[in-house]
């Protein structure tokens, strides 16, 4: 265990930017079709090796799905799966949320613990992104969301290919969906409680420097009691992906929509979820990289999702293909 944040010049440093909050865009008329249904709660969609991969929180499994909609279980995760990525040797990394483990499924199918992140977490382990070298950046909630605990800030942790871990950013407000730019020189992470996307430069050793705002979507709430903070969150960044132009597709976990978002906060396009559903993550993929897959469910509350099978994967086509990682 090692704290790299101070070495990298991040952590609790202050960062400043002239902020202009996002302005609305015209609603898009793109149509969604259902790829897969009957899930508990889908998150962390990925396109890999000609298939979609997605975590189902409450069915406790990672599944893969072909473009024709044929699914199979890839990994059972008793501790609740979330972020997914792959190492250079083809091993699949999967977050196990409730026991704060990063699991590794090797090419031979053997499953092992790649890293134990318990000492860093104030809440469930969450999403991750992996670069071409096998470095993984992982975040956690920072508090127990499902028991409505008062929010607090948390860390972003680097897990190197050999499983060594260190903190590379502190004072993160619920780090969530993450992307790495096409040149693998920058990491962008959504901060759900911060109503923003923050960016870092990636140093040669995987540590993060030059923390800055990529897009501030709404004013950052003042932390306090859960019942006081939640009403202040008018945009809740969740799962996201990057396109080849360097813009983001992002899910607004409280706004029932996907946004196509440019640096600085300009909204290129807005897609509303079908009636009765919210969007919680998205990914570009498919054979031409232009399929936008969205994870949808009526809500994100564990108590209402545990015994329900109402989560769906919806897809639509866009013009600009996938870029960056994942």
User: What are the sequence ranges of the domains in the chain?
Assistant: 2-323
Q: In sequence order, what DSSP letters do the residues of 123-164 get, joined into one string?
A: S-EEEEEE-TTS-EEEEE-SS-GGGTPPP--EEEEEE-TTS-
Rounded Cα distance between 289 and 188, Å, is 20
* Residues 168-188 pLDDT 10s: 999 999 999 999 999 999 999
pLDDT digits (tens, 9 = 90+) for 31-48: 999 999 999 999 999 999
Paired strand residues for 300: none
CA distance 77 to 75: 6
Kindly tell me if the per-residue pLDDT of 93 is higher than 80. yes
Q: Which of 98-107, 130-139, 213-222 has the lowest mean pLDDT?
A: 213-222
Q: Per-residue pLDDT for 1 more than 90?
A: no
Classify domain 2-323 by CATH number: 2.120.10.30
Place of tokens 């949808």: 296
| Length, in residues, of the chain | 326
pTM assigned to the model? 0.91
Higher pLDDT, 306 or 191: 191
């Amino acid at each position: 265990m090692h704290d790299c944040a101070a070495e990298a010049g991040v952590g609790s440093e202050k960062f400043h930017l002239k902020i202009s909050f996002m302005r609305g865009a015209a609603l898009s008329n793109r149509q969604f079709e259902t790829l897969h249904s009957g899930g508990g709660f889908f998150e962390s969609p990925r396109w890999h090796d000609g298939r979609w991969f997605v975590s189902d929180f409450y069915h406790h499994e990672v599944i893969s799905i072909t473009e024709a909609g044929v699914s199979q279980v890839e990994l059972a995760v008793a501790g609740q799966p979330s972020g997914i990525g792959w190492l250079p040797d083809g091993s699949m990394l999967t977050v196990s949320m409730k026991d704060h483990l990063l699991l590794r499924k090797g090419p031979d199918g053997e499953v092992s613990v790649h890293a134990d992140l318990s000492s860093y977490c104030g809440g469930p382990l969450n999403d991750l992104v992996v670069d071409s070298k096998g470095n993984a950046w992982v975040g956690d909630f920072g508090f127990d969301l499902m028991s409505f605990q008062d929010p607090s800030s948390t860390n972003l942790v680097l897990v190197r290919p050999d499983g060594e871990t260190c903190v590379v950013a502190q004072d993160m407000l619920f780090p969530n969906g993450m992307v790495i730019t096409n040149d693998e020189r920058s990491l962008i992470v959504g901060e759900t409680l911060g109503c923003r996307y923050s960016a870092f430069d990636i140093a040669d050793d995987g540590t993060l420097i030059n923390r800055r705002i990529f897009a501030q979507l709404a004013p950052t709430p003042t932390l306090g009691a859960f019942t006081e903070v939640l009403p202040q969150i008018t945009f809740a960044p969740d799962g996201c992906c990057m396109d080849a132009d360097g813009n983001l597709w992002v899910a607004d976990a409280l706004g029932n929509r996907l946004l196509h978002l440019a640096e600085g906060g300009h909204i290129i396009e807005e897609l509303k979820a079908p009636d009765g559903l919210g969007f919680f993550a998205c990914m570009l993929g498919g054979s031409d990289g232009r399929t936008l897959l969205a994870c949808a469910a009526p809500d994100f509350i564990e108590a209402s999702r545990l015994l329900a099978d109402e989560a769906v994967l919806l897809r639509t086509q866009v013009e600009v293909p996938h870029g960056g990682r994942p």
